[in-house]
Amino acid sequence: MIELTQTTAREVARRVNAGELKAVDVAHAALKRIEALDGRLNAFITIVGEQAIRDAEAVDRAVSRGRSLPLAGVPLAVKDGFWTKGVRTTNGSMAMIDFVPESDAEAVARLRRAGCVLVGKASMHEYAYGFTNENPHFGDAVNPWLAGRIPGGSTGGGAIALATGMALAAVGGDTGGSIRQPAALCGVVGLKVTYGRVSRHGGIPLSWSMDTVGPMARSVEDAALMLSVMAGPDPKDRATALSPELPEPLVPEGTNLAGVRVGVPGGHFFDLAEPEVAESVRDAIEVLRGLGAAVVPVDFPKVDLARAAHRAIIFAEAASAHEDAARDLDNGMSDDIRHLILSGLFLNGDQYLDGQRARRVVMAQYRDLWRSFDVLATPTSPLTATPIGLRELAVDGTPVPLVYVYLDQTMPFNLSGQPALSVPCGFSAAGLPIGLQLVGRPWEEPLLLRVGAAYQSATHWMERVPPGIGA
């Protein structure tokens, strides 16, 4: 029996390709964990047990005929906002409960061709329009490290599955932080790719000009392996036309970071951070320094302009994508998501264009800023996982919407289109994970992955397992 909390996707694929392990046995182990744990964690909306076994058997047959598959037998969780052939894709909403795609999303198709075995559709915030993964239709997803806490969103189900060994790879979407936030809050790895690096075909849109599709995993090396399969041009998504080839190997061996300049900002990235978060991230930066990186203080611009631009764009584009569904009062969509979508109709064309103009200003600011360093290092989230149902945080006696507190760390880089990686870097006294966010220039995922892998090799955070879930 394989212990899925004690291994990686890369190791599973190696052993399946070598004939040391059967993909079908890995699938059975993943499904057994889902059966044991998902009732209290709500990581999945749909579980595809019989299909998973059939697909795993097909992987075993392919390997027996001499094929080597880069992700042979790896259990895969897919956010329920991405098409899966013959499997319902609800987007976390009763409004799409009967939608069954006739094909896979392109990123999903590439992973499955590489040997991944789909075990289920992961839970998500309805229409991907939120950060908590509370869901009135399918139940709230629960952080596996502490009951009653959010896992983050909107890709929370995939992060839960990875942290607990119900899957070893997950596909997520990131428009404002929806891969990185749950990765940080659940203690796993999440990569928000450069806009256009991975095809969005078959992903239900939220904001077409900021949506990205990316990998989530338990290790940086696994995320890199997934990216090498997922990335590249796709004629069905014109945004991928300029995507450059990734190097081989994507993550070189070794931990020497000599010559890498790590920028460390002050300001809002640390101002609202819990003391344990700030300390863990600063300790992680010192680890990078110890590996040879030069640490450079950075005067980062305030996020007010980025926040205003992001909101103007996402509100308008979400309304454009989903107005018809939101106007159907009988389709089961929850009222808060309906109101969010329809609120975008109150923006006029000038306001949307003002948002896009502001976006260009922000992008120019960041482009100039990155000339003085190579990788920005910040907390992924200033907070550890907050209680389910909490909506505001008191800051100097003033209530601040929690969505700002969480997403101001991640949202700017969706606006600028830059890649960003979240890596576990510590735990609070309550046992909740803390994430380090590394941000690079467009198309520089290889550098982020190199830095993240070096940090992970020098630390042991990924070895910890949530309490009470078994090996």
Enumerate the active-site residues. 79, 154, 178
Place of tokens 């075995």: 117
Helices (H), ranges, 65-215 = 106-113, 156-164, 180-186
Residue by residue, DSSP assigns 298-353 as E-PPPSHHHHHHHHHHHHHHHHHHHHHHHH-TTS---HHHHHHHHHGGGS-HHHHH
How many residues does this entry show for the chain? 471
Q: What is the Cα–Cα distance from 84 to 50, expressed in whole angstroms?
A: 15
Structure tokens, 387: 């209680």
**121 in Cβ contact with 359 (< 8 Å):** no
**433 in Cβ contact with 184 (< 8 Å):** yes
Q: What is the Cα–Cα distance from 56 to 42, expressed in whole angstroms?
A: 24
Structure tokens, 405: 């507190």
**291 in Cβ contact with 185 (< 8 Å):** no
Place of tokens 């955070």: 461
Helices (H), ranges, 204-274 = 220-230, 268-271
Q: What is the Cα–Cα distance from 139 to 45, expressed in whole angstroms?
A: 9
Place of tokens 């149902």: 389
Which residues does 226 contact at the CB level (< 8 Å), separation at least 6?
9, 71, 111, 169, 215, 217
**Can you list the pairs that 28-34 forms with residues at least 24 positions away whose Cβ atoms lie under 8 Å?**
28/53, 29/1, 29/2, 29/4, 30/4, 30/75, 30/117, 30/119, 30/165, 30/166, 30/167, 30/168, 31/119, 33/4, 33/164, 33/165, 33/166, 33/470, 34/119, 34/120, 34/161, 34/166
The C-alpha R_g of the chain, in whole angstroms, comes to 21
Q: What is the Cα–Cα distance from 291 to 59, expressed in whole angstroms?
A: 39
* CB-count exposure of residue 402 (10 Å: 0-12, 13-18, 19+): middle
